[in-house]
Structure 1
Amino acid sequence: MAFALRNRQELDSDQFTEMLEHSPAKAAQAILAAAGQGLVEAQLLLGQILLDGRGIEKDPGLARRWFAIAAERGSAMACNMLGRCLEHGWGGEVDQAQAAQHYRQAARTGLDWGLYNYANLLATGRGVIQDHATALSCYRQAAELGHAKSMNLLGRYLEDGVHCPRDVHSAQRWYQRSAEGGDFRGQFSHAGVLAAQGRTQDALKWLQQALEGGNANFLRVAGPALELAEQPEIRRLAQAYAARLAQLQAQA
Protein backbone atom coordinates (compact mmCIF):
# COMPACT_ATOMS: atom_id res chain seq x y z
CA MET A 1 0.00 0.00 0.00
CA ALA A 2 1.30 3.46 -0.84
CA PHE A 3 -0.17 6.91 -0.28
CA ALA A 4 0.38 9.68 -2.81
CA LEU A 5 1.19 12.96 -1.08
CA ARG A 6 0.69 16.52 -2.25
CA ASN A 7 4.23 16.65 -3.60
CA ARG A 8 3.61 13.35 -5.47
CA GLN A 9 6.03 11.46 -3.27
CA GLU A 10 4.83 8.14 -1.95
CA LEU A 11 4.71 6.76 1.56
CA ASP A 12 4.67 2.97 1.65
CA SER A 13 2.93 0.97 4.36
CA ASP A 14 6.11 0.27 6.37
CA GLN A 15 7.02 3.95 6.44
CA PHE A 16 3.48 4.84 7.39
CA THR A 17 3.44 2.33 10.26
CA GLU A 18 6.69 3.74 11.61
CA MET A 19 5.45 7.30 11.20
CA LEU A 20 2.18 6.57 12.99
CA GLU A 21 4.11 5.04 15.87
CA HIS A 22 6.64 7.83 16.28
CA SER A 23 4.94 10.86 14.78
CA PRO A 24 1.16 10.35 14.69
CA ALA A 25 0.44 14.01 13.84
CA LYS A 26 2.72 13.82 10.79
CA ALA A 27 1.16 10.52 9.76
CA ALA A 28 -2.31 12.02 10.12
CA GLN A 29 -1.39 14.85 7.78
CA ALA A 30 -0.05 12.38 5.22
CA ILE A 31 -3.27 10.37 5.41
CA LEU A 32 -5.38 13.52 5.17
CA ALA A 33 -3.53 14.61 2.04
CA ALA A 34 -3.88 11.19 0.42
CA ALA A 35 -7.57 10.95 1.36
CA GLY A 36 -8.19 14.35 -0.20
CA GLN A 37 -6.64 13.08 -3.43
CA GLY A 38 -9.18 10.26 -3.50
CA LEU A 39 -7.17 7.25 -2.29
CA VAL A 40 -9.77 4.93 -0.83
CA GLU A 41 -7.42 3.18 1.58
CA ALA A 42 -6.35 6.55 2.96
CA GLN A 43 -9.98 7.58 3.34
CA LEU A 44 -10.61 4.46 5.38
CA LEU A 45 -7.56 5.12 7.54
CA LEU A 46 -8.54 8.75 7.99
CA GLY A 47 -11.90 7.62 9.30
CA GLN A 48 -10.15 5.31 11.75
CA ILE A 49 -7.74 7.88 13.15
CA LEU A 50 -10.56 10.43 13.44
CA LEU A 51 -12.53 7.83 15.38
CA ASP A 52 -9.57 7.09 17.66
CA GLY A 53 -8.18 10.63 17.89
CA ARG A 54 -4.72 9.41 16.98
CA GLY A 55 -2.53 12.19 15.60
CA ILE A 56 -5.60 14.30 14.93
CA GLU A 57 -8.48 15.71 16.96
CA LYS A 58 -11.08 13.05 17.65
CA ASP A 59 -14.18 13.61 15.51
CA PRO A 60 -16.55 10.61 15.24
CA GLY A 61 -18.96 12.53 13.01
CA LEU A 62 -16.28 13.31 10.47
CA ALA A 63 -14.98 9.75 10.79
CA ARG A 64 -18.44 8.49 9.85
CA ARG A 65 -18.48 10.70 6.76
CA TRP A 66 -15.07 9.47 5.57
CA PHE A 67 -16.14 5.86 6.10
CA ALA A 68 -19.22 6.61 3.99
CA ILE A 69 -17.07 8.10 1.22
CA ALA A 70 -14.72 5.09 1.17
CA ALA A 71 -17.68 2.69 1.33
CA GLU A 72 -19.29 4.33 -1.69
CA ARG A 73 -16.04 3.81 -3.55
CA GLY A 74 -16.02 0.09 -2.86
CA SER A 75 -14.09 -0.43 0.38
CA ALA A 76 -15.55 -3.43 2.18
CA MET A 77 -13.85 -2.50 5.45
CA ALA A 78 -15.27 1.01 5.18
CA CYS A 79 -18.74 -0.53 4.81
CA ASN A 80 -18.05 -2.51 7.95
CA MET A 81 -16.82 0.54 9.86
CA LEU A 82 -19.78 2.62 8.72
CA GLY A 83 -21.96 -0.18 10.03
CA ARG A 84 -20.21 0.02 13.38
CA CYS A 85 -20.77 3.77 13.56
CA LEU A 86 -24.45 3.24 12.86
CA GLU A 87 -24.78 0.33 15.27
CA HIS A 88 -23.10 2.10 18.18
CA GLY A 89 -24.05 5.70 17.48
CA TRP A 90 -20.51 6.89 16.84
CA GLY A 91 -20.73 10.32 15.26
CA GLY A 92 -24.51 10.32 14.86
CA GLU A 93 -27.76 8.53 15.58
CA VAL A 94 -28.01 4.80 16.12
CA ASP A 95 -29.62 3.02 13.16
CA GLN A 96 -29.47 -0.75 13.50
CA ALA A 97 -31.28 -1.38 10.22
CA GLN A 98 -28.80 0.73 8.25
CA ALA A 99 -25.94 -0.90 10.14
CA ALA A 100 -27.22 -4.30 9.06
CA GLN A 101 -27.34 -3.21 5.43
CA HIS A 102 -23.72 -2.07 5.49
CA TYR A 103 -22.57 -5.18 7.34
CA ARG A 104 -24.40 -7.32 4.79
CA GLN A 105 -22.68 -5.48 1.97
CA ALA A 106 -19.28 -6.06 3.59
CA ALA A 107 -20.16 -9.69 4.28
CA ARG A 108 -21.03 -10.30 0.63
CA THR A 109 -17.43 -9.46 -0.29
CA GLY A 110 -16.21 -12.17 2.08
CA LEU A 111 -14.79 -9.74 4.65
CA ASP A 112 -14.45 -11.63 7.93
CA TRP A 113 -15.38 -8.65 10.10
CA GLY A 114 -18.42 -7.92 7.95
CA LEU A 115 -19.56 -11.53 8.28
CA TYR A 116 -19.05 -11.43 12.05
CA ASN A 117 -20.85 -8.14 12.64
CA TYR A 118 -23.74 -9.06 10.35
CA ALA A 119 -24.06 -12.40 12.13
CA ASN A 120 -24.24 -10.63 15.49
CA LEU A 121 -27.25 -8.62 14.35
CA LEU A 122 -28.91 -11.67 12.82
CA ALA A 123 -28.37 -13.70 15.98
CA THR A 124 -29.94 -11.03 18.19
CA GLY A 125 -32.55 -9.67 15.79
CA ARG A 126 -31.25 -6.12 15.93
CA GLY A 127 -32.06 -4.17 12.76
CA VAL A 128 -33.06 -7.38 10.98
CA ILE A 129 -35.40 -10.31 11.54
CA GLN A 130 -33.68 -12.79 13.83
CA ASP A 131 -32.18 -15.57 11.73
CA HIS A 132 -29.94 -18.05 13.54
CA ALA A 133 -29.41 -20.21 10.48
CA THR A 134 -27.89 -17.35 8.47
CA ALA A 135 -25.99 -16.11 11.52
CA LEU A 136 -24.45 -19.56 11.92
CA SER A 137 -23.49 -19.62 8.25
CA CYS A 138 -21.80 -16.22 8.55
CA TYR A 139 -19.94 -17.18 11.72
CA ARG A 140 -18.75 -20.37 10.04
CA GLN A 141 -17.51 -18.50 6.96
CA ALA A 142 -15.66 -15.97 9.10
CA ALA A 143 -14.21 -18.68 11.35
CA GLU A 144 -12.89 -20.57 8.35
CA LEU A 145 -11.19 -17.34 7.27
CA GLY A 146 -9.39 -17.26 10.62
CA HIS A 147 -11.61 -14.81 12.53
CA ALA A 148 -11.07 -15.68 16.21
CA LYS A 149 -14.26 -14.15 17.61
CA SER A 150 -16.36 -16.01 15.07
CA MET A 151 -14.61 -19.24 16.00
CA ASN A 152 -15.83 -18.91 19.58
CA LEU A 153 -19.41 -18.19 18.54
CA LEU A 154 -19.41 -21.02 16.02
CA GLY A 155 -18.29 -23.23 18.91
CA ARG A 156 -21.27 -22.10 20.95
CA TYR A 157 -23.72 -22.96 18.19
CA LEU A 158 -22.12 -26.38 17.84
CA GLU A 159 -22.02 -27.03 21.58
CA ASP A 160 -25.68 -26.08 22.01
CA GLY A 161 -26.88 -27.63 18.76
CA VAL A 162 -28.60 -24.41 17.67
CA HIS A 163 -29.74 -24.79 14.03
CA CYS A 164 -27.12 -27.49 13.53
CA PRO A 165 -26.40 -30.98 14.85
CA ARG A 166 -24.85 -30.85 18.31
CA ASP A 167 -21.12 -31.52 18.04
CA VAL A 168 -19.27 -30.98 21.31
CA HIS A 169 -15.91 -32.17 20.01
CA SER A 170 -15.96 -29.73 17.07
CA ALA A 171 -17.08 -26.98 19.45
CA GLN A 172 -14.11 -27.64 21.67
CA ARG A 173 -11.71 -27.50 18.74
CA TRP A 174 -13.14 -24.14 17.67
CA TYR A 175 -12.84 -22.82 21.22
CA GLN A 176 -9.19 -23.80 21.27
CA ARG A 177 -8.53 -22.14 17.92
CA SER A 178 -10.33 -19.01 19.10
CA ALA A 179 -8.28 -18.92 22.29
CA GLU A 180 -5.04 -19.37 20.39
CA GLY A 181 -6.18 -16.63 18.00
CA GLY A 182 -6.36 -14.15 20.88
CA ASP A 183 -10.10 -13.78 21.52
CA PHE A 184 -10.71 -13.34 25.25
CA ARG A 185 -14.14 -14.95 25.08
CA GLY A 186 -12.65 -17.90 23.23
CA GLN A 187 -9.99 -18.13 25.92
CA PHE A 188 -12.71 -18.23 28.57
CA SER A 189 -14.64 -20.91 26.66
CA HIS A 190 -11.52 -23.01 26.14
CA ALA A 191 -10.65 -22.66 29.83
CA GLY A 192 -14.08 -24.02 30.72
CA VAL A 193 -13.41 -27.11 28.62
CA LEU A 194 -10.01 -27.61 30.24
CA ALA A 195 -11.42 -27.16 33.73
CA ALA A 196 -14.10 -29.77 33.04
CA GLN A 197 -11.32 -32.16 31.96
CA GLY A 198 -9.52 -31.63 35.26
CA ARG A 199 -6.72 -29.57 33.68
CA THR A 200 -7.00 -26.76 36.21
CA GLN A 201 -3.58 -25.21 35.70
CA ASP A 202 -4.05 -25.04 31.95
CA ALA A 203 -7.47 -23.50 32.50
CA LEU A 204 -6.00 -20.88 34.83
CA LYS A 205 -3.49 -19.87 32.17
CA TRP A 206 -6.22 -19.13 29.66
CA LEU A 207 -8.42 -17.44 32.26
CA GLN A 208 -5.55 -15.11 33.09
CA GLN A 209 -5.17 -14.19 29.43
CA ALA A 210 -8.91 -13.56 29.17
CA LEU A 211 -8.69 -11.33 32.24
CA GLU A 212 -5.91 -9.26 30.70
CA GLY A 213 -7.65 -8.82 27.36
CA GLY A 214 -11.30 -8.72 28.35
CA ASN A 215 -13.53 -5.66 28.26
CA ALA A 216 -15.93 -4.50 30.95
CA ASN A 217 -18.98 -6.26 29.50
CA PHE A 218 -17.14 -9.55 29.44
CA LEU A 219 -15.70 -9.19 32.94
CA ARG A 220 -19.11 -8.26 34.35
CA VAL A 221 -20.47 -11.66 33.32
CA ALA A 222 -17.34 -13.80 33.59
CA GLY A 223 -16.44 -12.87 37.17
CA PRO A 224 -19.66 -14.16 38.74
CA ALA A 225 -19.45 -17.28 36.57
CA LEU A 226 -16.04 -18.08 38.03
CA GLU A 227 -17.46 -17.88 41.54
CA LEU A 228 -19.51 -20.99 40.73
CA ALA A 229 -16.51 -23.08 39.67
CA GLU A 230 -15.75 -26.33 41.49
CA GLN A 231 -12.03 -25.61 41.71
CA PRO A 232 -11.04 -23.19 44.51
CA GLU A 233 -8.15 -21.83 42.42
CA ILE A 234 -10.60 -20.75 39.76
CA ARG A 235 -13.06 -19.33 42.30
CA ARG A 236 -10.28 -17.16 43.71
CA LEU A 237 -9.60 -15.72 40.27
CA ALA A 238 -13.09 -14.20 40.34
CA GLN A 239 -11.71 -11.55 42.69
CA ALA A 240 -9.14 -10.52 40.11
CA TYR A 241 -11.90 -10.24 37.50
CA ALA A 242 -13.91 -8.00 39.82
CA ALA A 243 -10.88 -5.80 40.51
CA ARG A 244 -10.10 -5.43 36.81
CA LEU A 245 -13.73 -4.54 36.11
CA ALA A 246 -13.64 -1.85 38.79
CA GLN A 247 -10.44 -0.47 37.23
CA LEU A 248 -11.97 -0.28 33.76
CA GLN A 249 -15.13 1.35 35.10
CA ALA A 250 -13.04 3.97 36.91
CA GLN A 251 -11.19 4.76 33.68
CA ALA A 252 -14.39 5.14 31.64
Structure 2
Amino acid sequence: MELVDRETPDLADGEVLIRNACLSLDAGTRMWMGPREDSYSPPTPLGSPIISTVLGTVTGSRHPDFRPGDLVRAYGQWADYSVSCPDEVYVERVSRRLDDPRQHLGVFGANGWTACLGVLEYGAAKPGETFVVSAASGVTGALAGQIAKQHGRRVLGITGSPEKGAWLRELGFDAAVDRTTGDLGEALREACPDGIDVYFDNVGGAVLDAALGSMALFGRVAVCGLLSVYDRDEPAPGPARFDQILMAAGPIENRPGT
Protein backbone atom coordinates (compact mmCIF):
# COMPACT_ATOMS: atom_id res chain seq x y z
CA MET A 1 0.00 0.00 0.00
CA GLU A 2 1.03 3.59 -0.47
CA LEU A 3 -0.39 6.94 0.61
CA VAL A 4 -1.06 9.25 -2.35
CA ASP A 5 -2.75 12.56 -3.05
CA ARG A 6 -5.39 12.64 -5.79
CA GLU A 7 -8.01 15.07 -6.96
CA THR A 8 -11.54 14.28 -5.80
CA PRO A 9 -13.33 13.03 -8.94
CA ASP A 10 -16.40 14.74 -10.37
CA LEU A 11 -19.63 12.90 -9.64
CA ALA A 12 -21.45 11.03 -12.35
CA ASP A 13 -25.23 10.65 -12.38
CA GLY A 14 -26.34 8.37 -9.55
CA GLU A 15 -23.22 8.87 -7.41
CA VAL A 16 -22.71 10.44 -3.98
CA LEU A 17 -19.61 12.00 -2.43
CA ILE A 18 -19.01 11.08 1.22
CA ARG A 19 -16.58 12.81 3.55
CA ASN A 20 -15.33 9.84 5.56
CA ALA A 21 -15.30 10.12 9.35
CA CYS A 22 -14.45 6.46 10.04
CA LEU A 23 -13.00 3.59 8.02
CA SER A 24 -13.67 -0.03 8.91
CA LEU A 25 -10.63 -2.32 9.06
CA ASP A 26 -12.06 -5.81 8.55
CA ALA A 27 -10.43 -9.20 8.16
CA GLY A 28 -12.05 -9.60 4.76
CA THR A 29 -10.15 -6.54 3.51
CA ARG A 30 -6.97 -8.66 3.35
CA MET A 31 -8.75 -11.23 1.21
CA TRP A 32 -9.96 -8.57 -1.24
CA MET A 33 -6.35 -7.46 -1.72
CA GLY A 34 -5.49 -10.81 -3.33
CA PRO A 35 -6.05 -11.94 -6.93
CA ARG A 36 -8.80 -14.53 -6.35
CA GLU A 37 -11.94 -14.02 -8.42
CA ASP A 38 -14.11 -16.58 -6.60
CA SER A 39 -14.61 -14.59 -3.40
CA TYR A 40 -17.93 -13.01 -2.42
CA SER A 41 -16.34 -9.67 -3.35
CA PRO A 42 -14.13 -9.05 -6.39
CA PRO A 43 -10.42 -8.35 -5.78
CA THR A 44 -9.27 -4.74 -5.45
CA PRO A 45 -7.16 -3.87 -8.52
CA LEU A 46 -3.59 -2.74 -7.90
CA GLY A 47 -3.32 1.04 -7.88
CA SER A 48 -6.90 1.65 -6.80
CA PRO A 49 -8.08 2.70 -3.32
CA ILE A 50 -8.79 -0.05 -0.82
CA ILE A 51 -12.50 -0.78 -0.46
CA SER A 52 -14.13 -1.01 2.97
CA THR A 53 -17.19 0.05 4.89
CA VAL A 54 -17.07 3.74 5.74
CA LEU A 55 -19.10 6.09 7.91
CA GLY A 56 -19.38 9.69 6.83
CA THR A 57 -21.43 12.66 5.70
CA VAL A 58 -22.71 13.21 2.19
CA THR A 59 -21.18 16.41 0.82
CA GLY A 60 -22.35 16.07 -2.76
CA SER A 61 -25.06 14.03 -4.43
CA ARG A 62 -26.31 13.25 -7.91
CA HIS A 63 -28.67 10.57 -6.57
CA PRO A 64 -32.31 11.41 -5.83
CA ASP A 65 -32.43 9.51 -2.51
CA PHE A 66 -29.43 11.24 -0.87
CA ARG A 67 -28.69 14.86 -0.10
CA PRO A 68 -25.79 16.79 1.48
CA GLY A 69 -25.74 16.43 5.26
CA ASP A 70 -26.97 12.82 5.34
CA LEU A 71 -24.98 10.55 7.67
CA VAL A 72 -24.38 7.30 5.76
CA ARG A 73 -22.76 3.92 6.11
CA ALA A 74 -21.47 2.69 2.79
CA TYR A 75 -19.01 0.68 0.79
CA GLY A 76 -16.43 3.32 0.05
CA GLN A 77 -12.69 3.84 -0.14
CA TRP A 78 -9.86 4.32 2.35
CA ALA A 79 -9.53 8.02 1.64
CA ASP A 80 -10.68 11.38 2.94
CA TYR A 81 -13.61 11.13 0.53
CA SER A 82 -15.49 8.19 -0.97
CA VAL A 83 -17.43 8.14 -4.21
CA SER A 84 -20.19 5.52 -4.16
CA CYS A 85 -23.12 4.64 -6.41
CA PRO A 86 -26.07 3.57 -4.21
CA ASP A 87 -27.69 1.70 -7.09
CA GLU A 88 -24.62 -0.53 -7.43
CA VAL A 89 -23.08 -0.81 -3.94
CA TYR A 90 -24.30 -0.59 -0.38
CA VAL A 91 -25.09 2.96 0.82
CA GLU A 92 -27.52 3.50 3.69
CA ARG A 93 -28.63 6.58 5.61
CA VAL A 94 -28.14 6.04 9.39
CA SER A 95 -29.31 7.80 12.53
CA ARG A 96 -27.34 10.53 14.28
CA ARG A 97 -28.91 9.62 17.63
CA LEU A 98 -26.18 7.23 18.79
CA ASP A 99 -23.92 8.62 21.53
CA ASP A 100 -21.01 7.01 19.70
CA PRO A 101 -21.67 7.06 15.93
CA ARG A 102 -18.74 4.69 15.37
CA GLN A 103 -21.03 1.88 16.55
CA HIS A 104 -22.71 2.09 13.14
CA LEU A 105 -19.59 0.17 12.05
CA GLY A 106 -19.59 -2.14 15.08
CA VAL A 107 -22.53 -3.31 17.18
CA PHE A 108 -25.07 -1.80 14.78
CA GLY A 109 -23.14 -2.66 11.64
CA ALA A 110 -22.12 -5.77 9.76
CA ASN A 111 -20.18 -7.17 12.72
CA GLY A 112 -23.21 -7.01 14.99
CA TRP A 113 -25.56 -8.45 12.37
CA THR A 114 -23.13 -11.28 11.64
CA ALA A 115 -22.70 -12.14 15.31
CA CYS A 116 -26.44 -12.10 16.02
CA LEU A 117 -27.39 -14.27 13.04
CA GLY A 118 -24.51 -16.68 13.61
CA VAL A 119 -25.43 -17.24 17.25
CA LEU A 120 -29.21 -17.30 17.19
CA GLU A 121 -30.16 -18.41 13.67
CA TYR A 122 -27.39 -20.44 12.08
CA GLY A 123 -25.89 -21.70 15.33
CA ALA A 124 -29.35 -22.06 16.88
CA ALA A 125 -27.78 -21.90 20.33
CA LYS A 126 -30.12 -22.99 23.15
CA PRO A 127 -30.00 -22.03 26.84
CA GLY A 128 -27.58 -24.19 28.80
CA GLU A 129 -25.54 -25.24 25.78
CA THR A 130 -21.80 -24.76 25.45
CA PHE A 131 -20.90 -22.08 22.91
CA VAL A 132 -17.33 -21.66 21.65
CA VAL A 133 -16.08 -18.87 19.41
CA SER A 134 -12.65 -18.47 17.79
CA ALA A 135 -10.89 -15.14 17.23
CA ALA A 136 -12.97 -14.25 20.24
CA SER A 137 -11.25 -10.94 20.97
CA GLY A 138 -12.04 -9.58 17.51
CA VAL A 139 -15.13 -7.44 17.16
CA THR A 140 -17.40 -10.13 15.67
CA GLY A 141 -16.17 -12.86 18.02
CA ALA A 142 -16.51 -10.67 21.10
CA LEU A 143 -20.05 -9.67 20.12
CA ALA A 144 -21.01 -13.29 19.36
CA GLY A 145 -19.83 -14.42 22.79
CA GLN A 146 -21.71 -11.65 24.57
CA ILE A 147 -24.92 -12.38 22.64
CA ALA A 148 -24.63 -16.09 23.43
CA LYS A 149 -24.05 -15.32 27.12
CA GLN A 150 -27.07 -13.02 27.27
CA HIS A 151 -29.17 -15.88 25.92
CA GLY A 152 -28.11 -18.30 28.63
CA ARG A 153 -25.21 -20.19 27.03
CA ARG A 154 -21.95 -21.24 28.64
CA VAL A 155 -19.43 -19.28 26.58
CA LEU A 156 -15.77 -20.05 25.90
CA GLY A 157 -13.51 -17.94 23.71
CA ILE A 158 -10.44 -19.08 21.78
CA THR A 159 -7.87 -16.32 21.57
CA GLY A 160 -4.13 -15.72 21.26
CA SER A 161 -2.83 -14.37 24.58
CA PRO A 162 -3.52 -14.37 28.34
CA GLU A 163 -4.29 -10.64 28.16
CA LYS A 164 -7.00 -11.18 25.57
CA GLY A 165 -8.40 -14.05 27.62
CA ALA A 166 -8.61 -11.82 30.70
CA TRP A 167 -10.44 -9.17 28.67
CA LEU A 168 -12.95 -11.76 27.44
CA ARG A 169 -13.73 -12.75 31.02
CA GLU A 170 -14.34 -9.07 31.79
CA LEU A 171 -16.94 -9.12 29.00
CA GLY A 172 -18.71 -12.03 30.72
CA PHE A 173 -17.18 -15.05 28.96
CA ASP A 174 -17.11 -18.07 31.26
CA ALA A 175 -13.66 -19.15 30.10
CA ALA A 176 -10.96 -18.55 27.51
CA VAL A 177 -8.41 -20.85 25.87
CA ASP A 178 -5.08 -19.58 24.55
CA ARG A 179 -4.50 -21.29 21.19
CA THR A 180 -0.77 -20.47 21.27
CA THR A 181 0.08 -22.60 24.30
CA GLY A 182 -0.09 -26.40 24.42
CA ASP A 183 -2.49 -28.67 22.56
CA LEU A 184 -5.62 -26.71 21.61
CA GLY A 185 -7.67 -29.85 21.04
CA GLU A 186 -6.82 -31.18 24.51
CA ALA A 187 -7.53 -27.79 26.07
CA LEU A 188 -10.97 -27.70 24.45
CA ARG A 189 -11.76 -31.23 25.62
CA GLU A 190 -10.84 -30.27 29.18
CA ALA A 191 -12.80 -27.02 29.06
CA CYS A 192 -15.84 -28.62 27.37
CA PRO A 193 -16.18 -32.09 28.93
CA ASP A 194 -19.68 -32.54 27.50
CA GLY A 195 -18.62 -31.32 24.06
CA ILE A 196 -19.18 -28.13 22.09
CA ASP A 197 -22.82 -27.59 21.14
CA VAL A 198 -22.19 -24.54 18.95
CA TYR A 199 -18.87 -23.53 17.43
CA PHE A 200 -18.74 -20.06 15.85
CA ASP A 201 -15.74 -20.25 13.53
CA ASN A 202 -13.79 -17.17 12.47
CA VAL A 203 -10.48 -18.90 11.73
CA GLY A 204 -10.70 -22.23 9.88
CA GLY A 205 -7.55 -24.36 9.56
CA ALA A 206 -6.05 -26.02 12.62
CA VAL A 207 -8.37 -24.19 15.02
CA LEU A 208 -11.43 -25.56 13.23
CA ASP A 209 -9.89 -29.05 13.29
CA ALA A 210 -9.39 -28.80 17.05
CA ALA A 211 -12.99 -27.72 17.58
CA LEU A 212 -14.41 -30.47 15.33
CA GLY A 213 -12.70 -33.04 17.54
CA SER A 214 -14.66 -31.77 20.54
CA MET A 215 -18.13 -31.31 19.07
CA ALA A 216 -21.10 -32.71 20.99
CA LEU A 217 -23.68 -34.90 19.28
CA PHE A 218 -25.99 -32.75 17.14
CA GLY A 219 -23.55 -29.83 17.48
CA ARG A 220 -23.63 -26.97 14.98
CA VAL A 221 -20.82 -25.01 13.34
CA ALA A 222 -21.51 -21.47 12.15
CA VAL A 223 -18.82 -20.62 9.59
CA CYS A 224 -18.17 -16.88 9.73
CA GLY A 225 -14.55 -16.37 8.67
CA LEU A 226 -11.29 -18.02 7.60
CA LEU A 227 -8.64 -15.80 9.14
CA SER A 228 -5.97 -18.47 8.86
CA VAL A 229 -6.03 -18.42 5.04
CA TYR A 230 -6.82 -14.84 4.02
CA ASP A 231 -3.18 -14.24 3.10
CA ARG A 232 -3.12 -17.22 0.70
CA ASP A 233 -3.80 -16.98 -3.01
CA GLU A 234 -4.96 -20.59 -3.34
CA PRO A 235 -8.22 -22.08 -2.03
CA ALA A 236 -8.37 -23.02 1.64
CA PRO A 237 -7.72 -26.71 2.40
CA GLY A 238 -10.55 -28.81 3.73
CA PRO A 239 -10.77 -29.68 7.45
CA ALA A 240 -8.56 -32.57 8.52
CA ARG A 241 -11.27 -33.58 11.01
CA PHE A 242 -14.04 -33.53 8.42
CA ASP A 243 -15.06 -37.05 9.48
CA GLN A 244 -16.38 -35.64 12.76
CA ILE A 245 -19.25 -34.04 10.85
CA LEU A 246 -20.52 -37.58 10.36
CA MET A 247 -19.23 -39.19 13.55
CA ALA A 248 -20.75 -36.55 15.84
CA ALA A 249 -24.15 -36.87 14.20
CA GLY A 250 -24.95 -39.67 16.64
CA PRO A 251 -26.82 -42.96 16.17
CA ILE A 252 -29.81 -42.51 13.90
CA GLU A 253 -32.24 -43.77 16.54
CA ASN A 254 -31.18 -40.91 18.82
CA ARG A 255 -31.65 -38.14 16.33
CA PRO A 256 -34.42 -35.58 16.92
CA GLY A 257 -37.69 -36.57 15.30
CA THR A 258 -36.96 -40.31 15.12
- The TM tier, using the shorter chain, reads under 0.3
Greater RCO (CA < 8 Å, at least 6 residues apart): 2
More strand by share: 2
- TM-score, normalised relative to structure 2: 0.24
